[in-house]
Amino acid sequence: MRQRVALRALACIAFSVFLVSCGGGGSSSPANPVANPPPQAPPPPPPPVPTSAELEAAAAFASRATFGMPYTGIYRIADKGHEAWLDDQLAMEPSSHLEFADELIRRRDAGEFKPADDGILLTITFWRAAWWNRAITAPDQVQQRVAYALSQIFVVSDIDLLRDNPPAITSFNDVLLKGATGNFRDLLYDVSLHPAMGIYLSHVNNRKADPENNIFPDENFAREVMQLFTIGLFELNEDGTYQYDANGRLIPTYDSDDIREYAKVFTGLSYSGPNAWFGRWRPYFREPMQMFEEHHEPGPKHLLGGVVVPEGQTGLEDVEDAVDSLFNHPNVGPFIGRQLIQRLTTSNPSPAYIQRVTNAFNGDETGIRGDMKAVVKAILLDPEVADPINPNHFGKLREPVLRLAALARQFNAECEDGMFYNNGYRMQYHGQQHPLAAPSVFNFYSPFHAPAGAIAESNLVAPEFQITTATTVINMVNLIDLGLFHDDQLFSPSEPFEPTNINIDDYIEMATNIDLLIDRLDLVMMAGRLDEATRLRIKLGIESVGTDNADRARHAIYLMAIAPTYVVEN
């Protein structure tokens, strides 16, 4: 024992001597002093975690600005901030629909598809497959969503030649994508010269007048470019309200003489491409229509706003002047702004909301009239969206296409070949709707549609209800059932492409706690708007399924997806 104590004492003495020799003890300074390093600054605190309210606001924002977001995407928006996230989106390179269709055409021509799959029945679905692939997978979600909104204003549909040629609608959709972040004036010009529009509204191969043979310029496009694409039927104030004359009557924006004058402008246009000639019947969709001067109506044209197109110009110079005359009309801002608001945020915007969007269109802050980035930001970031003047009047019905696209994106739909191929026929049958397949140039529904009853009596509109019937309501419930409980039924793929499936992996473990599961689904699907009565019904429905977590998760998503709170966004 004494020996161990002595050893410990010797060890302590030796350690003390070592410290003294190293300068660790005593008052002697070391031979080579080293300056003490400055104290390091403490690490910055971690960024604050988004609150529940911020996540709910981000989820609501995502449902308006995109085709839908999973929880991770919602979190990114909340973390980055709505405007910063939106700026990033609007700066992205658009994901081309034509490029996707061209890849399918290349594979078809290389013989990759079986003979049974290689005919016209497969080819006519290429443009549909391109739309759904981009809606589900494209990173530029805002641009894709705005392009879809524009496709319901600048309407072309999959009739005959447009259906049978994949570049027709895909290249037109690329024009809308470019316009979503470009300038409205350029968009109007590009739409006017696109061969898909030339076919749909019959100004391709539109000849100058030949009265002796009873030939006069076709007036179809000239009428619709005013009525539907730019200024509407009646003069508007900047806040979208109507102007009236001294007798209290609405003031028309144009008359039949104006239609005839604009029809003269849009003569002489035919397909471009190799060996182009006027009157060519075989379409070419990869370039704008070409002007053939000998078939263009000569002479001056008297347009709106006192604009006179002088004699002696080229045909395309006439088109430029006509587009400018429409673009500069004061109706364009409120007329187009109101419809874009309806497609993205609410069916019944207040006059003040429309006024602010009109200001953005007019370039009050940027100095650039028609800047679509400014318009999109004004619509999505308007204070009325976050804090409606009348919450009971704010919001809109989620149309069938948006319901299906949202489910695919909110639940990270997966597809083994990465194509997410959808020929769209099941969507069109169940929902009576498919992108760029409207029954007429007036779209699937009118922006002024007011279903009879409380909505009409309140002087409100609900456009999407025009295609909502007892049949479509039941059909959409059945379509969602197919997508959730039948692995290959979310989309309708064509051979030889793989099916697209809802991915519920993130929700299986969560299903052990039904309240937690409902909370997360409420955030992702409804932005926290689920009312207590509906929540209780959903909870009882989940409990009745049993204890299998996958079954619980699927039934929970199904019940949420058919709930009125999901179908109506507000």
Residue 459 has which token pair? 């002087």
DSSP 8-state symbol, 209? P
- The domain spans of the chain are 211-327, 332-393, 396-569
Q: How many Cα atoms within 13 Å fall on the side-chain side of residue 542?
A: 27
User: What percentage of the chain's residues is helix, strand, coil (to nearest 5)?
Assistant: 55, 5, 40
Q: What is each CA distance from 52 to 56, 254, 391, 412, 524, in whole angstroms? A: 6, 51, 20, 22, 12
Classify residue 374 by burial, with Cβ atoms within 10 Å: 0-12, 13-18, 19+.
buried
The structure's pTM equals 0.91
Nearest to 296 by CA among 312, 274, 276, 272: 312
Strand partners, 397: 568
Classify residue 276 by burial, with Cβ atoms within 10 Å: 0-12, 13-18, 19+.
middle
* Distance of alpha carbon 508 from alpha carbon 554, whole angstroms: 9
Determine contact, residues 100/67, Cβ cutoff 8 Å: no
HEC assignment per residue over 38-64: CCCCCCCCCCCCCCHHHHHHHHHHHHH
Residue 38: predicted pLDDT: 74
Residue 34: predicted pLDDT: 56
A 10 A CB-CB count for 181 gives 20
Strand partners, 501: 414
Residue 112 has which token pair? 């990759």
DSSP reduced 3-state for 12: helix
* Distance of alpha carbon 190 from alpha carbon 215, whole angstroms: 27
Residue whose structure tokens are 């053939």: 292
Question: How does 230-251 read in b/e, with b if 16+ C-beta sit within 10 Å?
Answer: bbbbebbebbbeeeeeeeeeee
Nearest to 319 by CA among 197, 162, 443: 197
Residue 527 has which token pair? 């932005």
DSSP reduced 3-state for 532: helix
* Distance of alpha carbon 546 from alpha carbon 554, whole angstroms: 12
Residue 320 has which token pair? 């430029």
Determine contact, residues 374/364, Cβ cutoff 8 Å: no
Nearest to 188 by CA among 223, 235, 154: 154
Residue 26: predicted pLDDT: 42
H helix count then E strand count, the chain: 28, 8
Residues of the chain with pLDDT under 50: 1-30
> Which residues contact residue 314 at a Cβ distance below 8 angstroms, ignoring those fewer than 6 apart?
291, 293
Dihedral class, residue 240 (left if φ above 0, else alpha if ψ from -120 to 50, else beta): left
Determine contact, residues 269/181, Cβ cutoff 8 Å: no
Residue 117: predicted pLDDT: 62
Residues 187-197: tens digit of each pLDDT:
999 999 999 99
